[in-house]
Amino acid sequence: MRMGKRANKIGTVIYIGALAWFFGRIVWHEVAYSSATAASLSRLEGESALISAPAQDVLVSQESRHGSGQVLVDRLYQSSLNYSQLRAYYDAALATQGWRFDKDEHLKNWGSDLGGMDAHYRKGNDAVSLQFAGAKAQYGWTYALSFTWDSD
């Protein structure tokens, strides 16, 4: 019986230690990356503002989010342009600001092929994604232009 109580105390100490380590790591990460995250948010909002959408496209929504060493500046659009036309437009627009095309990726929605595509661009540690929903998609938006930074 004594052994059971001792094992229970050791288990409790290990559990509390693990929780303290976990939450301490989260707090440390927030403190360590807070200035870099704030600077990246400001920089990516500025980069995003430099890239205009095609004249006929309609902005559906935009948001900026950040947290623990990560930043997302996201804009969703409705457009009558197809993926090839959007790629050509944004390849040129992003290149003028120093962004380099990285790769194209075919997207599926829960295994269904809706014609979605994702073009990736890089500039230093920053990334841009041009996500085309697909001709068969019914999301309320045609494409997203997302600027991201990750401290890792």
What DSSP string runs through 26-90?
Answer: HHHHHHHHHHHHHHHHHHHHHHHHH-PPPTT-EEEEEEEEEETTEEEEEEEEE-S--HHHHHHHH
d(CA 83, CA 96): 20
**Which residues span the domain enclosing 105?**
31-150
Task: Express each pLDDT in 3-46 by its tens digit.
Answer: 566 667 776 767 776 666 665 555 544 555 566 777 888 888 99
Q: Do the domain assignments include residue 82?
A: yes
Domain count, the chain: 1
Mean pLDDT taken over the chain: 85
Q: What are the tokens at 34?
A: 């807070």
Q: Do the domain assignments include residue 45?
A: yes
Task: Express each pLDDT in 86-99 by its tens digit.
Answer: 999 999 999 999 99
Q: Do the domain assignments include residue 5?
A: no
Q: Do the domain assignments include residue 3?
A: no
- Tell me the pTM: 0.75
d(CA 129, CA 138): 20
